Amino acid sequence: MSEEKVAMRMVGRVAVVESDNQPVNALGHAVRKGLFDNVSAAAADAGVDAIVIACKGRTFHAGADITEFGKPPQEPGLVEVIELIEACEKPVVAAIHGTALGGGLELALGCHFRVAVPSAKVGLPEVKLGLLPGAGGTQRLPRLIGAVAALEPIVKGDPIPAPRAAELGIIDAVAEGDLVEAAVKMAEAKAAEGGPLPRISQMRTPPTDMEAFEAEAGRLLSRSRGLKAPATCAQTVRNAITMSFADGTAQERALFAELRDGPESKAQRHAFFAEREANKVPGVTKDVKPRPVNRIAVLGAGTMGGGITMSFASAGIPVTIIDLNPEALERGMGVIEKNYRNTQRRGGLTEAQVDAALANITASSDFDSVAEADMVIEAVFENMDLKKKIFKDLDAKCKPGCVLASNTSTLDVDEIAAVTSRPEDVVGMHFFSPANVMRLLEIVRGEKTAPDVLKTAMDVGKKGGKIPVVVGVCYGFVGNRMLHARGAQIEPMLLEGASPSEIDGALTKFGMAMGPLAMSDMAGLDVGYRIRQESGRKAPVNDAICEMGRFGQKTGKGWYLYEEGSRRPIPDPEIDALIARVAKEQGVTRREFSEQEIFERLMFPMINEGAKTLEEGVALRASDIDVIYLYGYGFPVGQGGPMYYADQVGADYICERLDHYADVTGTESLRPCALMRKLAAEKSTFAAAKAA
């Protein structure tokens, strides 16, 4: 079997050992065995002077095979393969293209030399899966480039472009032209030199300035949201300073196993596969080709239009931003330029990158400019009549085949599509604010949306750095609809006795980036107030706060107090008194809340609403909902997303609690939906229901 995945061929007296395990040459059992057998054979063959390790297809080994985690280990392990390579008496050169990630880079670090094409990237992204590099990476990288420099690649896990990797000393050469040819040349030269071979495991970590090390570790960990893996990664790098290679790797292996078998890594691996699964959309088969998009027009230069424009301009796609109000257009362009320059000042982009992005943007107050676009993304005021008028005009002005997208957050995409003569070209592209930062993109599939239009929206979204998830038409789509179910519990709990900071605290303790009330203060309370006034809906506490002129951070007061220039929410006794007064007016008896109850009353209705979107087919799969919450709502990655979390807690417990809260509050909308009850009755999970 192994011969199928790894083959050896001779180029002169150099053995080229080449893996072919598409799509990413993951180091599964057959590959490890093939590498082990072929390298052993080449090492023993007197006709071989040196060895090159290379890969076919689009990339060098992109890591261990994650699907094997949790299954019984099969020999040879990756560590054995790497040890065999490093111990080889003949020079071994890794020839890297695409991405050498995780176990792939660890294997390359076991080789004596590394050469890469300029477009290659190398990295140790294990931390993003809740792991640490478990095949010697935490001990070899610090020995090669120094412990301080090794911290960021290991604790943060971002890939490093080949030219930078060469500067850091991770790779020995960047090769223009044919990669394998260059690697063979290097191997021949090293064999001819006949000098001692560099074996990283035998090197000492260069002397480390411990103060600088701890400062760098502290800087990196301050952004790791309390996850276990980053701190453990930093510890293993520290071990490379203080321990022998043997002790360091023994520790590394033990800690790797601990993380791999722990809940956070399981959740993060779920998230990894969920994100990839979201690409698979019924009806959008491999042979559906996206339409070419060489220019995008964005309608509306407001909050969303500006952010959407930036996403695509930064990705090198020409964008025409159109606002009929010249002042709004000028203001919008000003905000875009200011945002870019701020990023540049903070070191996120170079001046040349900002200039290039700005050069991709054309501002226009002439609606007819839409005629040049292959895709139009409408982001004007949230008003059905206005959107209908605009889509009628787009239908008249846009070229045939142009994708007509709306960024509406609540309106019916089918109703909008129906005013055009080409409903198959209409799709929702629901970005999240700030659109140049947030990665989630809900793609709303209308009843008539053509498969190639969906594919185009997904592809273009990805080019703009987004994670697209396809959803169906309904009020609020998936993400906001679930958020409304959560929001509906806030006022009642406040009246019954929970404080704003207790409500926010129940979610931030769970790992959410922010609680709902601090979030409202950030977004501003006035918009919701105005909408409630127009629609006649009431939110007694929220309304009373707004009537005091407290609109959140922008007025220095909202649910909380804010000190001048600070975004830190401070609980305000005035608000506690106000809530008590409103509760009295409403005749609500107040009581103490446990953190658990607050948490359940926020989280479980959300999960229940998610299950409803599954029943209705608005969400395609539970894991899609997880992707939506991880990328659009700051759900803690170590919890895997709301539906994954529900599976860990158990549908039976959630149903029992929802029934309980429905009973004690007299709120029928809290009752579990049929799908939740079915899972509870069958003691099943969303994951199992999907697999079945």
CA distances from 623 to 68, 586, 651, 690 (A): 20, 41, 16, 9
User: Judged by CB under 6 A, which of 303, 339, 508, 684 binds ligand NAI?
Assistant: 303
**Among 190-198, 221-229, 295-303, 641-649, which window interacts with ligand NAI (CB under 6 A)?**
295-303
Closest to 682 (Cα-Cα) out of 646, 652, 649: 652
Asked if 294 contacts 288 with a C-beta cutoff of 8 angstroms, the reply is no
CA distances from 327 to 302, 332, 333, 339, 365 (A): 11, 8, 10, 18, 10
User: Judged by CB under 6 A, which of 52, 53, 54, 129 binds ligand 3HC?
Assistant: 129
How far is it, in rounded angstroms, from Cα 131 to Cα 232? Answer: 9
**Among 136-144, 428-436, 538-546, 553-561, which window interacts with ligand NAI (CB under 6 A)?**
428-436
**Among 134-142, 247-255, 296-304, 333-341, which window interacts with ligand 3HC (CB under 6 A)?**
134-142
Site track 61-100 with ligand 3HC (rule: CB under 6 A), x = hit: -xxxxxx----------x--------------------x-
Catalytic status, residue 193: no
Residue 290 touching ligand NAI (CB under 6 A): no
Residue 125 touching ligand 3HC (CB under 6 A): yes
Strand partners, 11: 14
Catalytic status, residue 126: yes
How far is it, in rounded angstroms, from Cα 441 to Cα 459? Answer: 11
User: Judged by CB under 6 A, which of 74, 244, 285, 325 binds ligand NAI?
Assistant: 325
How far is it, in rounded angstroms, from Cα 604 to Cα 209? Answer: 49
CA distances from 356 to 25, 117, 314, 315, 361 (A): 35, 25, 8, 10, 9
How far is it, in rounded angstroms, from Cα 413 to Cα 442? Answer: 13
Smallest distance from ligand 3HC to CB 68, Å: 8
**Among 192-200, 202-210, 405-413, 502-510, which window interacts with ligand NAI (CB under 6 A)?**
405-413
Q: Is 69 helix (H, G, I), strand (E, B) or coil?
A: coil
Q: Which does 407 bind (CB under 5 to 8 A by kind): ligand NAI, ligand 3HC, none?
A: ligand NAI
**Among 294-302, 483-491, 647-655, 673-681, which window interacts with ligand NAI (CB under 6 A)?**
294-302
- Copy the structure tokens of residue 491: 């006022």
Residue 524 touching ligand NAI (CB under 6 A): no
**Among 121-129, 307-315, 452-460, 576-584, which window interacts with ligand 3HC (CB under 6 A)?**
121-129
Smallest distance from ligand NAI to CB 430, Å: 6
Q: Which does 65 bind (CB under 5 to 8 A by kind): ligand NAI, ligand 3HC, none?
A: ligand 3HC
Q: Which does 78 bind (CB under 5 to 8 A by kind): ligand NAI, ligand 3HC, none?
A: ligand 3HC
Strand order in the sheet with 99-101: 99-101, 121-123, 160-161
Residue 101 touching ligand 3HC (CB under 6 A): yes
How far is it, in rounded angstroms, from Cα 116 to Cα 122? Answer: 9
Smallest distance from ligand 3HC to CB 602, Å: 32
Q: How far apart are the first and last CA of the chain?
A: 30
Residue 26 touching ligand 3HC (CB under 6 A): yes
User: Judged by CB under 6 A, which of 241, 299, 398, 618 binds ligand NAI?
Assistant: 299
How far is it, in rounded angstroms, from Cα 640 to Cα 651? Answer: 16
Residue 252 touching ligand 3HC (CB under 6 A): no
Q: Which of residues 205-224 bind ligand 3HC (CB under 6 A)?
A: none
Which residue of the set 18, 86, 106, 378 is catalytic? 106
Smallest distance from ligand NAI to CB 436, Å: 12
Q: Which does 301 bind (CB under 5 to 8 A by kind): ligand 3HC, ligand NAI, none?
A: ligand NAI
Smallest distance from ligand 3HC to CB 206, Å: 23
Q: Which does 99 bind (CB under 5 to 8 A by kind): ligand NAI, ligand 3HC, none?
A: ligand 3HC
How far is it, in rounded angstroms, from Cα 448 to Cα 10? Answer: 56
Unique residue bearing structure tokens 């070209």: 425
Strand partners, 619: 471
For residue 440, the tally of other CB atoms under 10 A from its CB is 21
Q: Which of residues 498-517 bind ligand 3HC (CB under 6 A)?
A: none
Closest to 42 (Cα-Cα) out of 20, 15, 19, 18: 15
Spell out the residues 6+ positions from residue 510 whose beta carbon is closer than 8 angstroms to its own. 599, 603, 636, 639
User: Judged by CB under 6 A, which of 23, 194, 195, 292 binds ligand 3HC?
Assistant: 23
Q: How far is CA 581 from the centre of its chain?
A: 43
Residue 328 touching ligand NAI (CB under 6 A): yes
DSSP state of 73: P
Q: Which does 136 bind (CB under 5 to 8 A by kind): ligand 3HC, ligand NAI, none?
A: none
By DSSP bridging, strand 361-364 and strand 99-101 are unpaired
Unique residue bearing structure tokens 């699907």: 67
Residue 276 touching ligand 3HC (CB under 6 A): yes
Q: How many residues bind ligand 3HC (CB under 6 A)?
A: 25
Q: How many residues bind ligand NAI (CB under 6 A)?
A: 24
Asked if 473 contacts 623 with a C-beta cutoff of 8 angstroms, the reply is no
Asked if 248 contacts 138 with a C-beta cutoff of 8 angstroms, the reply is yes
Instruction: Considering the complex, state which of residue 438 and residue 651 has its C-beta at the smaller distance from ligand NAI.
Output: 438
Instruction: Considering the complex, state which of residue 161 and residue 302 has its C-beta at the smaller distance from ligand NAI.
Output: 302
Task: Identify residue 230 by its one-letter amino acid code.
Answer: P
Instruction: Considering the complex, state which of residue 637 and residue 673 has its C-beta at the smaller distance from ligand 3HC.
Output: 637
Site track 353-392 with ligand NAI (rule: CB under 6 A), x = hit: --------------------------xxxx-------x--
Instruction: Considering the complex, state which of residue 65 and residue 521 has its C-beta at the smaller distance from ligand 3HC.
Output: 65
By DSSP bridging, strand 426-431 and strand 440-444 are antiparallel
For residue 89, the tally of other CB atoms under 10 A from its CB is 7
Residue 337 touching ligand NAI (CB under 6 A): no
Residue 322 touching ligand NAI (CB under 6 A): yes
Smallest distance from ligand NAI to CB 234, Å: 36
How far is it, in rounded angstroms, from Cα 609 to Cα 642? Answer: 11
Strand order in the sheet with 50-55: 6-11, 14-19, 50-55, 92-96, 113-116, 173-174
Which residue of the set 126, 378, 491, 609 is catalytic? 126
Instruction: Considering the complex, state which of residue 268 and residue 407 has its C-beta at the smaller distance from ligand NAI.
Output: 407
Q: Which of residues 407-426 bind ligand NAI (CB under 6 A)?
A: 407-409
Residue 126 touching ligand 3HC (CB under 6 A): yes
Q: How far is CA 47 from the centre of its chain?
A: 49
How far is it, in rounded angstroms, from Cα 205 to Cα 183? Answer: 27
For residue 409, the tally of other CB atoms under 10 A from its CB is 18
Q: Which does 571 bind (CB under 5 to 8 A by kind): ligand 3HC, ligand NAI, none?
A: none
How far is it, in rounded angstroms, from Cα 190 to Cα 50? Answer: 8
CA distances from 482 to 61, 187, 275, 532, 611 (A): 39, 58, 19, 19, 10
Residues that bind ligand NAI (CB under 6 A): 299-305, 322-325, 328, 379-382, 390, 407-409, 430-433
Contact residues for ligand 3HC, defined by CB under 6 A: 23-24, 26, 62-67, 78, 99, 101-103, 106, 125-126, 129, 131, 133-135, 137, 273, 276
Query: Which residues are identified as catalytic?
Result: 106, 126
